[in-house]
Amino acid sequence: MTGKQRISYFYQPDVGHFYYGPSHPMKPHRIKMAHHLILSYGMYRQMECYRSHPATPTEMAAFHSDDYINFLAKATPDNLRSHSNAMQRFNVGEYTDCPVFDGIFEFTQLYTGASLDGAVKLNRGDADIAINWSGGLHHAKKSEASGFCYINDIVLAILELLKVHARVLYIDIDIHHGDGVEEAFYCTDRVMTFSLHKYGDFFPGTGHIKDTGAKEGTGFSVNAPLTSGMTDETYVRIFKPVMAKIMEVFRPGAIVLQCGADSIVGDRLGCFNLSLKGHAECVRYTKSFNVPTLVLGGGGYTIRNVARCWAYETSVLLDVELPDEIPYNDYYEFYAPDYKLHLTPDQRENLNTDASLESVRIDLLTQLNGLKGAPSVQMMEVPPDFELIKGSVGVEDDRTETKEEREGEGMNDGGS
């Protein structure tokens, strides 16, 4: 590939206005904070900025069950008593980590629609990289909410990419195992999942190194179980050689990269010790392969640091240097007392020993060496985009506005 990579950025100004509840660690407001940093650093000028469409129940049904989608569409904090059986069945409600809050279904529509729009943009060859920081909700199952996640936008985006690409690679650098995505594609060789995560007495409890897939998918689930205190140097020591081997043997046509920021230092729920630069080195290395890539958010519960992380990783994708001084923006006071972009890792012990890391690295490289080359797929006529299935002229028209209109809209969104 020659020339600068074309980057599309998807954002819905309302996505940051939803509220899980006063004591809940998931704060959608972090997405808006990241957006304002991206605006105040001027990065929007170097991307095509789009207001994404809200996903429809039909689009969600490509993976999720109809009764689960219908429940989410009807559930409100005011009618919970009439849905008590369904709440238990779908793992939603006050006794779970997935509460019913005002606008819950609209929230899922917004983050999911942005991931689908990004996948379609890549499929059409209209962008090399698509970014949706509101996406990456990797724990949701076919008929069950889990780990603050209700609709699995990642699985839906991968299904969209599989319409055009024979093989899709999913990479997960969130501190939690990407269990919902792994489970969805556990028995296929068309999707390889690669997750680096804290393992052992830690949610969701899956992601053992010997969980490698089943049936046709045997060997195509790649898990790097780690423990507390991971540093930049030790994280990259696992990520780069395994990623290089994956690209050699699997040769994906597209990549989905989930950039959960709960693996960086100082996270409310995390226990790794990565700086922004260490976390973003995975983004930089993935980008270097010049494969169409959908970049998503994910976890992250110290919201000022989540915003820092995703703004910095946007700059890495754009190949631009950002000054460490955070420019003034609507949420400037969140970055007190230093008002700096970068974080300093803590002085703490890394419980991952050289021997344990080397064992993980060797086991994963051995697993990948055992694969018999990249699977080939007899590609039939490419199925239509989800938006063409809907036949909605209005939606199509919304996506063909001029770049100038989009940039102006991006600025306006920032002030909402």
- Known catalytic residues are 139
Smallest CA-to-CA distance from 140 within 91, 95, 81 is with 91
Identify the bridge partners of residue 367 per DSSP, sorted by sequence position. Answer: none
DSSP annotation string for 260-293: -GGGBTT-SS----B-HHHHHHHHHHHHTT---E
DSSP annotation string for 220-271: -EEEEEE-TT--HHHHHHHHHHHHHHHHHHH--SEEEEE--GGGBTT-SS--
CB 192 within 8 A of CB 374: no
CB 159 within 8 A of CB 240: no
Residue 351 sits at the vertex; the CA angle it makes with 204 and 171, to the nearest 5 degrees, is: 45
Measured over the CA atoms of residue 41, residue 42, residue 46 and residue 47, the dihedral's sign is: positive
Run of H or E residues at 68: helix 66-74
Smallest CA-to-CA distance from 297 within 5, 8, 7, 30 is with 30
CA-to-CA distance for 410 and 405, rounded, in angstroms? 9
CB 179 within 8 A of CB 208: no
CB 239 within 8 A of CB 246: no
Residue 250 sits at the vertex; the CA angle it makes with 246 and 253, to the nearest 5 degrees, is: 110
What torsion do the CA atoms of 147, 150, 151, 154 make, to the nearest 10 degrees? -20
What torsion do the CA atoms of 174, 180, 184, 186 make, to the nearest 10 degrees? 60
CA-to-CA distance for 32 and 310, rounded, in angstroms? 11
- The CA-based diameter of the chain, rounded to the nearest angstrom, is 58
For 269-299, give one letter per residue: b (16+ CB within 10 A) or e.
Answer: bbbbbbbbebbbbbbeebbeeebbbbbbbbb
